[in-house]
Amino acid sequence: MVRRTVWLGVAAALAMATPSRDARAEDRIEKPNRKLHVPLTLGLGAAYFLAEAPFKAPLSRDTCRWCGPVGFDDGVRSGLVWDDTDRAAAISDATGFVTAPLFALAGIGLVAHLDDRRASWFDDGLIIAESAAVAGIFNYVIKASVARERPFVHQLPPDQKAGTEHPQDNNQSFYSGHSTLTMSLAVSAGTVASLRGYRHAGVLYGGGIALSLTTGYLRIAADKHWSSDILTGWLIGAAIGYAVPRFVHTRTTELRPVVSPTSVGVAMRW
C-alpha cells in the first residue's frame, strides 16, 4: 500500500509539474522486430550471466596483464576508499543491479503512461534491456582481454593474491561493469523517451545518471575499481546506451522529391 502510494504521488507530481504532451511531438522509434530482438536480448543476457558466474574462472587469467594504477588513480583511491569496503560493495551491487534497472524499466513505463502511451512500454523496455545486454557483453570481452588487477589485490603481497575470496575475479578491473550497466540504462532510457517525444525524458536522464554516478563512486569506495575503470565504464555505457536506440531502432525517413510550379516553370525540392 505504501509503495503504491509513493508511485501515485510521483506520477501526480510529474503530471502537475509539466504541461500536457504536445500531440505534434514526433515518435521516431520504429517498432522493433520482436522475433529478432527478444531472443537476441535474452541470448546476450544469458551469455553475460554465464560468463560472470559458472564460466568466469576458466575465462579469467591467473596473472594480470595490466597490474597498476595510472595517472590520478592512486590519489583518487586514497581519498575515496572506505574502511568498510564490504559495505560499499554491497550497496553498489544493490544500486547497480537492482535500483538502476528498476528505475529505467519502471520509469519508462511511468512516463509512457503519463503521456497515454502505455502500449509502447514493452518495446521501450526491450530496447533498454538490449542496450544493457550489448554493453554487458562488450564489457566482459574487454575485461577478459585486458586482465587489469583490481586495486585491493594490487595492495596485497604477491604470496597473498591467490588467496582472495574470489581469485578468478582478481584481474577483472578494467573497465567497471557496474558503471557500464548503470550508464547504459540511464542513457538508453532517456534516449528512448526523447525519441518517443515523452515529456519526462529529462527525469529518466537525471535520475538514471545520478544512480550511475553513485554506483561508480561506491565501486571506488569498495576498492573494486580504479577511477579510470569507472570513467571508461561511464563513457562506453553512455555511448552504447545512446547508439542502440538511436541507430538501431530509430525509423528512417526517405527523401522524396516534391515538384511544385513556379513563375518560370517547375521546381524540385527534397
**What's 127's domain CATH number?**
1.20.144
Q: Is 1 a domain residue?
A: no
pLDDT for the residue 122: 95
- 7 within some domain: no
- pLDDT category at 3 given cuts 50, 70, 90 is very low
Residue range 112-139: mean pLDDT, rounded: 96
Which of 239, 99, 237 lies closest to 180, judged by CA?
Answer: 237
Confidence (pTM): 0.83
Query: Does residue 10 surpass a pLDDT of 60?
Result: no
Q: 96 in a domain, yes or no?
A: yes
pLDDT tens across 141-193, in order? 999 999 999 999 999 999 899 889 888 899 999 999 999 999 999 999 999 99
* Whole-number pLDDT of residue 57: 60
Q: Which pLDDT score, from 0 to 100, does residue 61 have?
A: 82
Residue 78 lies in a domain: yes
Q: How far apart are CA 88 and CA 222, in angstroms?
A: 5
| CA nearest neighbour of 221 among 172, 182, 170, 176 | 176
**37 within a domain of the structure (yes/no):** yes
Residue 225 lies in a domain: yes
The domain containing residue 124 runs over which residues?
Answer: 26-158+165-269
Q: Is the pLDDT of residue 126 over 80?
A: yes
The total domain count for the chain is 1
- Which has the minimum average pLDDT: 18-22, 37-41, 98-102, 261-265? 18-22
The pLDDT of 119-137, averaged and rounded, is 96
Mean pLDDT of 53-68: 78
- Of 233 and 55, the structure prediction assigns the larger pLDDT to 233
- Antiparallel, parallel or unpaired: β 258-262 and 265-269: antiparallel
CA distance 21 to 226: 43
Q: Is it the case that residue 212 has pLDDT exceeding 80?
A: yes
Q: Do the domain assignments include residue 19?
A: no
Q: Is residue 109 part of a domain?
A: yes
How many residues would you count in the chain? Answer: 270
Per the prediction, the chain carries an average pLDDT of 86
pLDDT at residue number 58: 65
The DSSP call for residue 98 is: I
Q: What is the DSSP-derived secondary structure letter of residue 269?
A: E
